[in-house]
Structure 1
Amino acid sequence: MTTYGPFAETTPRGQTGWIDERRRPIAEHVRAVLGKLDGTSRFTYTLWRGSNPESIVVTRDDDAETFIQAAGSAEAMTVEARLRGEDGDHHLYTIGRRQAADAGTEETVLVPIGPDRSVRVLLREIFTADEAAEIFAAFVRTDTVPDAYARRELDLSVAQSEPR
């Protein structure tokens, strides 16, 4: 049996397919793709462990329990991950740097996620493509985000984006 995965992606151009280590290391591939996000015509990138790497075809409907995604530009992007929580259920989190204990009110930033929409995140939740690539690489190795990063759970009952 041929294996095509193990990871699937949806590129900034909206193409979905398999990625693996045969062409180049996944971490290098992800860094290159994240570097193409420009915040004007290329906004998002998503990666997940494919549910059936023996199928030549993969679609975004091949529901993975966990995934990681980025949106914005190579200079300023937000990273979200759907991970299993301590309660055993899956939750969507925005990933950020840990906040100092004495930090006051936090500044927010709008990050473009499409031609007409943006998402508001905390300043400490903004990464460059290089920084985000490290988080993606850890996800590829471990199926989670390192504990060194903060996770802010998103309330999906509330709209997460706003007009640009």
Structure 2
Amino acid sequence: MTRYGPYAETTPRGQTGWLDGARRPLPDHLRLMLGHLDGVGKYTYSIWRATNPDSIIVTRKDAGDTFLQAAGSASAMTLEIRKPGSDGKGRLYTVGRGAATGETTILIPINDERAVRVFADEVFFADEAAAIFTQYCETGTLAEPFVFRELDLSRDHSVAR
């Protein structure tokens, strides 16, 4: 019988632990964590299905092949999901709304030195992102109405800030 998980998190402060809803309802917790992103010192938040749900301790080493992560600030963040591609292998995608927005891009800080350039329809507020993270926890994936732009991991997508 599973006692923990199945999802774990790495908070904006870098702490790793189980998502359990014990302190507050999961949607409220996800909104709180994403609201802590400030684009100055707290840049990222991630959740993943852990491989060891019977252990009281969870670390990033326990991450499976899928995850959802956010980077930036509560007022402008990008979301990335790692999920199986059409060939069944894990691939990394930027999450977007699919709205036709032209070629307008926005720089989202991911740490003190680097930022990523994303399209305007790939920028979310913390409230929007919390709903997406909640959907991911409930279903294990994301589907329509979202679109996914695959990232080529053979090249660096970040730029100097």
Q: Same fold judged by TM-score > 0.5?
A: yes
Specify the alignment match of 1:57 in structure 2.
Answer: 57
| 8 Å Cα contact 1:117/1:163 also seen in 2 | yes
Paired residue secondary structure (1:134):
helix
Specify the alignment match of 1:156 in structure 2.
Answer: 153
Q: 2: CA distance between counterparts of 1:144 and 1:2?
A: 21
| 8 Å Cα contact 1:10/1:45 also seen in 2 | yes
| 8 Å Cα contact 1:93/1:154 also seen in 2 | yes
| 8 Å Cα contact 1:93/1:152 also seen in 2 | yes
Paired residue secondary structure (1:65):
strand
Root mean square deviation of aligned Cα: 1.3
Question: Of 86, 98, 115, which residue of structure 2 is paired with 1:118?
Answer: 115
Specify the alignment match of 1:42 in structure 2.
Answer: 42
| 8 Å Cα contact 1:135/1:146 also seen in 2 | no
| 8 Å Cα contact 1:44/1:70 also seen in 2 | yes
Note if 1:20 corresponds to 2:58: no
Specify the alignment match of 2:106 in structure 1.
Answer: 109
| 8 Å Cα contact 1:138/1:146 also seen in 2 | no
Q: How many pairs are equivalent?
A: 161
Specify the alignment match of 2:125 in structure 1.
Answer: 128
> CA shift at 1:96, angstroms?
0.7
Q: 1: CA distance between counterparts of 2:144 and 2:47?
A: 19
Q: 2: CA distance between counterparts of 1:114 and 1:82?
A: 20
Q: 2: CA distance between counterparts of 1:76 and 1:130?
A: 11
Identity %: 55
> CA shift at 1:160, angstroms?
1.5
Q: 2: CA distance between counterparts of 1:2 and 1:144?
A: 21
> CA shift at 1:87, angstroms?
1.8
Within-5 A mapping of 1:68-147: 68-100=68-100, 105-147=102-144
TM-score by length of 1: 0.93
Structure 2: segments with no counterpart, 5+ residues: none
Specify the alignment match of 1:6 in structure 2.
Answer: 6
Q: 2: CA distance between counterparts of 1:45 and 1:136?
A: 10
